[in-house]
A and B are shown apart, each in its own frame.
Chain A
Amino acid sequence: MPGLRRLVPGGTVTDVGSVRSAGELPVVTARWPGMKTIHVGCGPDRPCVCPRRRDIASSRRVCLPRATGLLVAWAAALCGPSAGCSEEEATHAMKVIVLGFDGLDPALCEELMAAGRLPHLSALARRGSFKRLGTSVPPQSPVAWSNLMTGTDSGQHGVFDFIHRDPTTAAPFSSAAVEVPPEPLPIVGSRVDSVPAFGYELPVRPTTIKPNRHSRAFWEYLTEAGVPAHVFRMPANYPPTASAGAHFCCLSDMGTVDVVNSQGGTFSYYTSDPAEQESGLTTEGGVLYGVTVHDDRVDGQWTGPVNEYVAGAGSPEPVRVAFVLRRDPSEDVVTVEWQDQTVLLREGEWSEWRPVTFELVPYVTTLRAMVRLYMKEVHPQVKLYVSPFNMDPQEESWEIDRPKNWSRHVSDAIGRYYTQGLAENTKALSNRIFTRDEFLRQSEIVFQERLRLFDFAMGHYRGGLLFFYFGTTDLVGHMFWGAQRAGHPGVTDEEHQRYGQVMAELYERVDEIVGRAVERFPDALLMVVSDHGFCDYRRSVHLNTWLQQNGYAVMNNPPDRKASMNFDFLQTRAYGVGLNGLYINLAGRERMGVVDSAYRQSVIDEITAKLLAFRDPKSGGAVVKTVYDGRRQYHGPLRDAGPDLIVGYMAGYRGSGESAMGAFPKAVIEDNTDAWGADHCVAADQVPGVLFSSERVRVDEPDLLDIAPTLLARFGVAAPGQMTGRDFLGGSLALSIDEHRKTEMASVGPLRGNQGNTMPDGVKCYGHED
């Protein structure tokens, strides 16, 4: 049938089904190189239906609408992104592949390579290089990946921590993205921001979301120079920025919120267990709903986003969707029904992704999300876990991709997938909703989705730059790194015995992925990188309490140790916000600043000395290894927007979550008994990342800042002036950030800090020997 081949560009038509009636489209079976057979088209008796109307029955089925006029649009969707989607535009003679594994630790890699457990990484190291990769200050993923993407540090790109603070209000906020409220519309001498209609306030202009990153990413320079770039699940890139020029496709990852706009996602847990109802959740990240079972039936509601469109609502309520759970009286089986969905689940079973529609304004504004259910228990109690409501990749209105239909194109091929960042639900484990095994099962779902995406990326790649990211190594690392050795306060001996090999086995799977890339593209320049390494998190430091005890911070009256930012600012000289940040309450800069700028440096010097002298009462060991001065650490116009001091803790220690949000827990330092038992927000030299390269790295101490200039140099693209790193493959003579820092420090004296990384009770942080 003429024209069919245009519908499957790059593929081979292997079969054409018969047309059943006039106006019907045939079912076409086609194959693309590296991909499984898929069916294109639908007929009256075909089970696959348009994924925009119902669940995708198979991840390999893509449907064409029956209206002929839409053929062109669907052909374009099949072809790929609307910008530069042709095979020719997506092809480049040079192939450069960067695989990013969050938190992949060099010391553990070395140990496992020595044991012969990582053959592909070992081969890569022998062929080219394996080095530690200098990380960011602080070694937090949004900072580190921003360094990697832009080739600049926080003073240029403006990302200093997971959590920033607004100096004019002292309120903490996520560094991931900013909401830009719309400008009111000038109408007849007034400024109108919304139009009332039927009990709702309809905004005349939408709120826009912008990434918080202020520097351009390396792929923007590449595509402008005509180099295709495929960037799969780049962290700290939400919403993804457009890139002009050559073929460009991108999916966001870490920093991407769920539908209720929360970082890390907000799960729901419905339980009829009175003991669970009474105990509640111990940490945030989810909501526990007590339910009652009547005649094996539970009536409940999903809780969606807050509906700010309701007119006159002082405190807007969330949109809710009713569901009914029916339990078999004797078997461990339930059905869960909502809207037009019915899910059948056995105890211990996970559902596939199922759509949920939140109607904000009837017929006008609807949010299409998706959810996965896990039936934890059916008898005697009903216990249902509901995943965070993720943005449905089938919906183009979400800001998770570039070009705009790319996520739909991808999910047409591989099925729906977690679109939120930090998808592995660590909070469910910390709250003991999940057991460790249940967390590993949920993480495996995330990992399998990522592997399907990886296969898709490999199959789609025709040269140019390919970046692909895995986050599982970080989030599983946070929960299981501490189980590798005995003695962690958050890990029992039994857990150490049972889960001690989880990290090693995960690294073996990382190695297999690397092997697949090498096998598929043996001649490509291949780099395997991570943003930081890992160490135990055994002792939690409440920095604001330390500041209070040392006379730098005062709590408001009445004292509330759990409240966020409960400072008496008129008596506070310094306060902590974020996992490593410490701010001087500077007059003229801060909301109620009291420290005159003439005294700023003396306060900084005093706090620095005291932090370095701070000893853990349990062990007598140093708590802080390095204190970084923000004005010396960062370079660029945004330097002064960040913390005045960045606290570099000793390995084994970390700033507490409570203090990161500006609270004052009672103790200054205490054991970390949370399941989140390992971390990397410490002094940077203790947690370098990895750099494996198929070509020899020509510098001794490569850094995250070097990745972008190296990639640009490989494609013959000049690096912009603000990139301070080096081309570590070509041996560029550009002055590195290390040289800048050495020059600066020579004039002000050596960086003060503590030596060694001895943990409490003399136990050394795993893998980090002095």
Chain B
Amino acid sequence: MATKIKIDSHLHDRVRAASEAAGYASVEEFVMHVLEKEVSRLAEAGDDAGVIDRLKGLGYLE
């Protein structure tokens, strides 16, 4: 289900300029790609149990 999100006109102008400079077919395509990348990055970092596990060998962490 599609959802509308409002952004102010100043931000919209900057987003449009960035999407044109980066060679995207449309502003929508650019915004979707940026959001997907950011959500993936945050999800990976939040699930980085390996990093936490590797710290637990520190004797300081009882």
Q: Mark A residues whose CB is within 8 Å of B.
A: 162-163, 166, 168-174, 257, 260-266, 283-286, 306, 388, 422, 426-427, 430, 475, 478, 540, 564-565, 579, 591, 656-658, 660-661, 672, 674, 676, 679, 681
Is B57 interfacial (CB-CB < 8 Å)?
yes
The B contact surface, by secondary structure, is helix
Q: Shortest CB–CB separation between residue B20 and chain A, in angstroms?
A: 21
CB pairs A–B below 8 angstroms (9 shown): A163-B55, A168-B45, A169-B41, A173-B51, A262-B56, A263-B57, A264-B57, A427-B57, A661-B52
A169, B57: Cβ atoms closer than 8 Å: no
**What 10 pairs between A and B have smallest CB-CB spacing?**
A284-B56, A169-B45, A657-B61, A264-B57, A426-B59, A285-B57, A262-B57, A657-B62, A262-B54, A674-B62
B57, A162: Cβ atoms closer than 8 Å: no
Besides A166-B45, A260-B54, A284-B56, 9 other A-B contacts (C-beta < 8 A): A171-B46, A171-B51, A171-B52, A257-B54, A263-B55, A422-B58, A540-B62, A656-B62, A661-B61
Contact of A660 among B41, B50, B61 (CB under 8 A): B61
Is B8 interfacial (CB-CB < 8 Å)?
no
Highest count of chain A CB atoms <10 Å: which of B46, B52, B58: B58
Cα–Cα distance between A261 and B41 once the two chains are bound (Å)? 22
Taking CB atoms, residues of chain B closer than 8 Å to A658 are 61
The residue of chain A having its C-beta at the shortest distance from the C-beta of B41 within the complex is: A169
Is B42 interfacial (CB-CB < 8 Å)?
yes
B62, A672: Cβ atoms closer than 8 Å: yes
Taking CB atoms, residues of chain B closer than 8 Å to A257 are 54
Interface string of B33-61 (1 = CB under 8 A from A): 00000000110011010111111111111
Taking CB atoms, residues of chain A closer than 8 Å to B60 are 162, 579, 657, 660, 676, 679, 681
> Assuming A169-B42, A591-B42, is B48 touching A284 (CB within 8 A)?
no
B62, A676: Cβ atoms closer than 8 Å: yes
> Assuming A169-B42, A591-B42, is B52 touching A285 (CB within 8 A)?
no
Taking CB atoms, residues of chain A closer than 8 Å to B50 are 306
The residue of chain B having its C-beta at the shortest distance from the C-beta of A425 within the complex is: B59
Task: Report, as a range, how many residues of chain B touch the other chain.
Answer: 10 to 19
B54, A261: Cβ atoms closer than 8 Å: yes
The A contact surface, by secondary structure, is loop
B58, A264: Cβ atoms closer than 8 Å: yes
> Assuming A430-B62, A656-B62, is B51 touching A172 (CB within 8 A)?
yes
Cα–Cα distance between A122 and B43 once the two chains are bound (Å)? 58
The residue of chain B having its C-beta at the shortest distance from the C-beta of A478 within the complex is: B59
Highest count of chain A CB atoms <10 Å: which of B45, B51, B54, B59: B59
A162, B46: Cβ atoms closer than 8 Å: no
A427, B51: Cβ atoms closer than 8 Å: no
Cα–Cα distance between A48 and B42 once the two chains are bound (Å)? 55
Cα–Cα distance between A672 and B59 once the two chains are bound (Å)? 14
B46, A169: Cβ atoms closer than 8 Å: yes
Cα–Cα distance between A658 and B62 once the two chains are bound (Å)? 7
Taking CB atoms, residues of chain A closer than 8 Å to B52 are 171-172, 564, 661
The residue of chain B having its C-beta at the shortest distance from the C-beta of A284 within the complex is: B56
The residue of chain A having its C-beta at the shortest distance from the C-beta of B59 within the complex is: A426
Cα–Cα distance between A262 and B50 once the two chains are bound (Å)? 10
A284, B57: Cβ atoms closer than 8 Å: yes
Q: Shortest CB–CB separation between residue A570 and chain B, in angstroms?
A: 14
Q: Shortest CB–CB separation between residue A615 and chain B, in angstroms?
A: 23
> Assuming A657-B60, A681-B60, is B53 touching A284 (CB within 8 A)?
yes
> Assuming A171-B51, A172-B52, is B42 touching A430 (CB within 8 A)?
no
Taking CB atoms, residues of chain A closer than 8 Å to B58 are 162, 263-264, 285, 422
Q: Shortest CB–CB separation between residue B61 and chain A, in angstroms?
A: 3
B59, A430: Cβ atoms closer than 8 Å: yes
Cα–Cα distance between A55 and B50 once the two chains are bound (Å)? 33
A265, B57: Cβ atoms closer than 8 Å: yes
B59, A676: Cβ atoms closer than 8 Å: yes
B55, A285: Cβ atoms closer than 8 Å: no
